[in-house]
Structure 1
Amino acid sequence: MALLFKVDDSRGSVWKSLFEQHAPDIDVRLWPDVGDPSHVRYFAAWQPPHDLPARFPNLEVIFATSAGVDQFDLVALPAHIQVVRMLDPGIAQGIVEYACFAVLSLHRQIPLYLRQQQAGVWKEHALTPARRRRVGVMGLGNLGVAVTQALRPFGFELRGWARSHKQVDGVQCFAGDEQLTPFLAQCDILICLLPLTDDTRGLLNARTFAAMPKGAQLINLGRGGHLIERDLLEALDNGQLSEAVVDVLEDEPPSPDHPFWNHPDIWLTPHIGANTSPDTAFEVLLDNLRRHQRGEAMNGVVARHQGY
């Protein structure tokens, strides 16, 4: 039985070392040194090669090294191969840190003050109390819930929206298409943490922005495919939105002439909201491997019909 990692060399060596120390019975291999392909039962990667099932005839489980799996072609994978999301607590921590940084920066008007600094302007602006700032989170899975709970101590009015009904402490929850517009109308700051599926692709569009209060702000921590980039540019240029913090794009890295690079109302970061760390993810992965070996259900198994 072998577990094959297709990750960068530095992370691969850490994974291999952790397994050698804590689970030496598992044969860990690092791509492209696959050895006998028939021995590979488990595969871990950000994005596997397209011919994975044919290359490894006894493959049983693919572990995504990410919280999302939209980069996988789930339709092309045989039904007997399970796909498992990475439930690394370090990912949640990273997303929480980024979301809090972005929300607090927008709330305290830091983009405005940075523009003033660059222009040599010393001018104070009135502060809106946190209790009067409405923060909405799209996506109430593990990451969305973690973000709402981290924001609660600041006193923001918290809203949440998901495809299905949820209950989250301290959060007014909305669900489904019929409640999307009422939710958006109450979001001064909107955070996208949705999984990318056929239903959510392109959801951050002109209609969505028009439903938000004028001058609202956007934080996209989901996937680049959620955002219609030209619609964001138009919403910023006509004042419907005032600022955006964008960590993910459809095409990464963007071309040198991409309009987000130099837009005065966009903060652009290179998909650094959270990264899987072997040190924090190892116990979760090993637990799932042991569960599978015992014939038990694993945590984070992707429902093919939902896409997450």
Structure 2
Amino acid sequence: MAGAIAYVSRDTDGVAWRKVLEAGLGPIDYRTLAGGLGNTDEIEIALAWKPKPGLLASFRNMRMIVSLGMGVDHLLADDRLPEGVPITRIMDDGLVGQMSEYAIYWALRHHRDIDRYEASQRARTWKPEEFVDTIHRRIGVMGLGTIGQDTARKFAMLGFPTAGWSRTAKEIAGIETFHGADGFREFLARTDILVDVLPLTRDTKGLLDGKAFSALPRGAYFINMARGGHVVDVDLLAALDSEHLGGAALDVFNTEPLPPDHPYWTHPRVHVTPHVAGATNPRTASPGVIENIKRLRAGQPLINTVDPKTGY
């Protein structure tokens, strides 16, 4: 008999996930934090989003952990994560589309000087701004996984000179690519709008510091829809205050929710959104999860597995 599937998230009640899993698998033993997990020795699969540290280790017969986000740093931060249990992540076309929409919106808002036009409207001033040709506004995407590649391709389709940076070398048609520590500064130097979609790992934590921001051209714009842990906040604020950076759109932060007294809330060149650039949609994310559950129970290799050493 198949084991139980546990929905381990405090953000929602898990009803939507139950519906899509039952549609693809038939009747299942489905348990949630809200409804009670019962005998945890019966749990075979955990659908997890930011579980309490140590909770997953208490599921003694668990055979697979599914991250309910495309990032898995929320799981790998648990130093009591059970060894030998494969971790998989969702591949959600709906979420990917949302993320690229977020980046394109804020990039175009900056590119077309909408903040200045809003200020002119409030002042009832008719003031056309100097136009910058799209071919002179260079986009740089940090992270060339599924989300990064989709975002870069869409910017390129809009006519922006687009480049990407990743840990290892990648080739993407129509996108200039850089990689590794040697290519990082060169990548930043050619980037007018920087979009961060990197995973959070030991190597990327604090990567965007004063040196990185100073490598960007003066007036550059920063969009962070990846993880707040990439950013050294005091250095970003200093770059904004000195006007080396023209502005920033921030969706993720070192501390979430963002504390009410944080300078980002009131900074004149910062836009804050509450970690909403991309939300997991059970309808579009479930096919891969269902496939993995079938594979697990049939003894077949899993897809979308995570390497804990690299963090993705």
**Deviation (angstroms), 1:120:** 3.5
Instruction: Sort the Cα spacing of 1:54 and 1:168 in 2 relative to 1 into closer, same or farther, 3 A.
Output: closer
In the comparison of the two structures, how many residue pairs are matched?
Answer: 308
Q: Is the 8 A contact 2:47 2:68 kept in 1?
A: yes
- Give the superposition deviation at 1:22: 3.0
- Equivalent position of 2:204 in the other structure: 200
- 1-side partners of 2:122 and 2:276: how far apart? 25
Tell me whether 206-215 or 121-130 shows the greater mean CA deviation: 121-130
Alpha-carbon RMSD: 1.5
2:68 equivalent among 65, 70, 79? 65
Instruction: Specify the alignment match of 1:125 in structure 2.
Output: 129
C-alpha displacement at 1:9, in angstroms?
7.5
Q: Which runs of 5+ in 1 are unaligned?
A: none
Aligned mates of 2:139, 2:280 — CA distance in 1: 27
| Separation (CA, whole Å) in 2 of partners of 1:44 and 1:209 | 37
Amino acid at match of 2:6: L
Deviations 1:82-141 (A, max 9, x none): 111121111101101111111111111112222333333321111111111100000000
Q: Which SS does the other structure have where 2:258 is aligned?
A: coil
Question: Quick check: 115-124 or 139-148, which moved more?
Answer: 115-124
2:6 to 4, 7, 12: 4
Moved more, 1-10 or 97-106: 1-10
Aligned to 2:104: 100
Does 69-78 or 180-189 show the bigger shift?
A: 69-78
**Structure 2 stretches of 5 or more lacking a match?**
none
Report which stretch shifted further, 104-113 or 134-143.
Answer: 104-113
In the alignment, does 2:264 pair up with 1:260? Answer: yes
Higher deviation after alignment, 280-289 or 75-84: 75-84
CA–CA distance in structure 1, aligned partners of residues 301 and 146 of structure 2: 19
1:166–1:75 Cα change, 3 Å: farther
Could you tell me whether the CA contact under 8 Å between 1:111 and 1:265 is conserved in 2?
no
| Contact 2:53–2:78 under 8 Å retained in 1 | no
Q: Which residue of 2 aligns with 1:237?
A: 241
Moved over 4 A (4+): 8-11
Matched residue, 1:274: 278
Which segment drifts farther, 295-304 or 1-10?
Answer: 1-10
1:201 counterpart letter in structure 2: K
Report the alpha carbon displacement of residue 296 of structure 1 after superposing the two structures with TM. Answer: 2.2
Letter in 2 for 1:44: L
Is it true that 1:168 corresponds to 2:184 in the alignment?
no
Q: Does 15-24 or 253-262 show the bigger shift?
A: 15-24
Structure 2 counterpart SS, 1:6: strand
Question: Kindly tell me: are residues 28 and 94 of structure 1, through their superposed partners in 2, closer, same or farther at Cα, counting changes over 3 Å?
Answer: same
Q: How far apart are 1:26 and its partner, in Å?
A: 2.9
Matched residue SS, 2:73: coil
